[in-house]
Structure 1
Amino acid sequence: MQLVLRDGFLHLTVEDMTAHLHCSRATLYSIAPSRQQIVTATIDQFFRDSADAVTRTTRAEVTSSARLEAYLTAIRDQMQRISRRCYDDMRAFGPTDAVYTTYAQLSIETVGRLIQAGVSDGSFRSLHASFVSTAATVLIDGIMRGVFLEASGISDGEAYSELGSLLLAALGVPPLSGD
C-alpha cells in the first residue's frame, strides 16, 4: 500500500511491485488475479482503513462542532497519505476512481449528518446540510488536485485546516433571538 500511495501506480509493473515488496509474482497474484485488480484492492483497502480510523476519531468527540472538526482533521490526515501522483493515477483509472467516488459520497453523507446533528442540537445555524457537505467535498477534491497550492501557495495541510475553519465559521452558532 505504501508503494502505491507514495509513487502512484499507473507506471508500476508487477515486476516493480515484486522487487519492492521482496515477494514472488504468485504472492501478488494471491491478492487478486491481475495487476489492475491488485491496485484496485489496495486503494479500496486504503479507504476502508481510513474510514475506520476517521470513524474512531470522530466518535470520541462529544459536541457537534468537535465531531465535525475531528472528522475534517481525520480526513485531512488520511488524504495526506496519498501522494499527488497516486491521486492523479487513482482518478485517471476507472476502477480506482469508482472506489474513490464511493468513499467521497460516503464522506459527503457523513459531513451532512454531522452538520444536521449540529443544526438539530442548536450548535450550528440552520442551513442546507447536503449543500454544505457537497461543497466541502468539492473543496477537498480541489485540495487533492493541487488547486489551492497553485492558486494561493498554501500547503495541502494548511488548505485542510483552512477548510475546517471555513466550515466551522460558516456553521457558527445561531444568534440569540432578538439579535
Structure 2
Amino acid sequence: MEITDQRMTRRQAELLDQLEELFLAEGFARFTLEDLALRLHCSKSTLYALAGSKEQLALRVIRHFFRKATDAVEAQTLTEADPARRVVAYLTAVAGALAPAGPAFHRDLEAFAPGREVYERNTALAAGRVRELIADGVAQGLFREVHPALVADTVTTLMLRIGRGDTGRATGLDDAAAYRELALLLLHGIDRRGARA
C-alpha cells in the first residue's frame, strides 16, 4: 500500500526527490526496482513502501515532479504585479521547471500512457492559467482585445508539441528555450505597450 506524501518519513521524501532527479536525467523505463534500489542505496522493500510496482513508482515520481513544478511556477508568477510581466514570468517559470527533464525522460513519458496523461493534464491546467493571465491583462486594458481561450488553445498546442519533442526536432531548441521564445512571442502579440520582458 502506497504511503501518502503527508505520512512519508524524511528518508522516503529524500528517496522520492532522488528518484525524481534520476528519472529526469536518465528516464525511467529501463530501470528495474532492483536497479533503483542499488542506485539509491536502499532496499526494494523501501521502494515498495513508496509504490507497489515499478510502474506505480514511476507514476508517483512523475506526479511528484509536476506537483513541485506547479508550486514553483505559481510562486514565481505571484511576484509580478504587471500582467505582461506575469505572463512572461509564468512561461519562463514553466521553462525553468521543465529544464531538468532530459530527452530520455520525455521519451519514456511519451511511451508511458499514465505518465503522459499526467503531463497532458498539467499542460491543460497551465493553458488555463495562461488564459486567466491574458483575460486579466485584457480586462485591465493593457492587452489588445484578444480571445483569451483562442490564445490559450494556441499556447496549449505549442506546449504539447514542446513536451512531445516535436518543437525541438523542428527547431533545434530545447524545451526551456522554446518556452522562453513562446513567452516573448505571446507578449509581443498581445501587449498594447510593446513587449517589456
TM-score (norm 2): 0.83
Aligned equivalent of 2:132 = 113
Answer yes or no: is 1:35 the counterpart of 2:54. yes
Task: Find out whether 1:92 has 2:111 as its counterpart.
Answer: yes
In the alignment, residue 82 of structure 1 is paired with which amino acid? Answer: A
Residues in 2 aligned to 1:95 and 1:153: alpha-carbon distance in whole angstroms: 28
| Paired amino acid for 1:61 | E
Instruction: Return the letter of the residue paired with 1:107.
Output: A
Match of 1:2 among 21, 43, 59: 21
Residue identity opposite 1:105 in structure 2:
A
Report the identity percentage: 37
How many residue pairs are counted as aligned between the two chains?
A: 175
Within the candidate set 141, 155, 177, 1:136 is matched to 155
- Superposed structure 1 runs of 4+ greater than 4 Å apart: none
Residue 192 (structure 2) aligns with: 173
Deviation of 1:174 after TM superposition, in Å, equals 7.3
Q: What is the identity, as a one-letter code, of the residue corresponding to 1:77? A: G
Find out whether 1:17 has 2:22 as its counterpart: no
TM-superposed deviation, 1:109: 0.6
1:21-100 equivalences in 2 (<5 Å): 21-100=40-119
Equivalent-residue separation in structure 1 for 2:112 and 2:166 (angstroms): 20
- Specify the code of the residue in structure 1 equivalent to 2:128: E
Secondary structure of 1:23's partner? coil
The aligned counterpart of 2:164 is 145
The root-mean-square deviation of aligned C-alpha atoms, in Å, is 1.6
What is the CA deviation profile of residues 22-60 of structure 1, one whole-angstrom value per residue up to 9, with x for unaligned ones?
Answer: 100011011011111111000000000000000100011
Structure 1 pair 82/132, CA: closer, same or farther in 2 (3 Å)? same
The code of the aligned residue for 2:124 comes to Q
**Maintained 8 Å contact 2:110/2:164:** no
Partners of 1:125 and 1:174 within 8 A in 2:
no
Look up the equivalent residue of 1:168 and give its one-letter code. Answer: L
* Alpha-carbon distance in 2 for matches of 1:106, 1:89: 22
Unaligned runs of 5+ in 2: 1-19
CA offset at residue 81 of structure 1? 1.4
Alpha-carbon separation, structure 2, partners of 1:156 and 1:107: 15
Provide TM-score, normalisation by structure 1. 0.91
| Alignment-derived partner of residue 10 in structure 2 | none
1:144 is aligned with what amino acid? G
Structure 1 residues 98, 5: CA separation in 2 closer, same or farther (over 3 Å shift)? same
Query: Is contact 1:40–1:95 with CA below 8 Å preserved after alignment?
Result: yes
